[in-house]
């Protein structure tokens, strides 16, 4: 599944791609929440309205739905960024701009891990 989800302060900056197993865990956690839980419902609505299924073509390439790609400014080239159990798909210029301060944030966060 591809999701156009906010990435920190960078609203709609990239696409998040979830493998089936990772998405399954997320959906299982949501399924355990009551239907009258406003936070769980907000997440359900958010996932439902900002996600789409990606397919793979005969050459093994990910086919990004046009509306999803346009929403984050992807037109041709992309940058794939691994996040251990998922990955992001970025428009190259947005990725370069976002990466400028990532080292400082990561260095600070590393101290907490």
| Cα three-residue angle 48-42-16, rounded to 5 degrees | 50
d(CA 7, CA 32): 25
Domain count, the chain: 1
Distance between CA atoms of 57 and 43, rounded to whole angstroms? 30
pLDDT of residue 32: 93
State pTM to two decimals: 0.78
Domain CATH number, residue 19: 3.40.1550.20
Of 23, 20, 21, nearest to 5 (Cα)?
23
Q: In terms of residue numbers, what domain contains 88?
A: 2-110
User: Smallest Cα–Cα separation from 15: which of 85, 79, 98, 105?
Assistant: 79
Mean per-residue pLDDT pooled into runs of 10, the chain (113 residues):
60 83 90 94 87 90 89 91 92 87 81 80
pLDDT of amino acid 104: 78
């Amino acid at each position: 599944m591809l999701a156009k989800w906010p990435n920190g302060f960078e609203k709609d900056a990239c696409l998040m791609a979830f493998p089936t197993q990772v998405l399954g865990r997320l959906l299982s956690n949501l399924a355990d929440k009551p239907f009258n839980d406003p936070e769980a419902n907000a997440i359900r609505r958010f996932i439902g309205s900002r996600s789409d299924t990606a397919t793979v073509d005969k050459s093994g390439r990910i086919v990004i739905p046009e509306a999803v790609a346009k929403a984050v400014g992807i037109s041709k080239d992309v940058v794939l960024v691994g996040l251990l159990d998922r990955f992001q798909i970025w428009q190259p210029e947005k990725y370069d701009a976002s990466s400028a301060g990532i080292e400082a944030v990561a260095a600070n966060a590393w101290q907490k891990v």
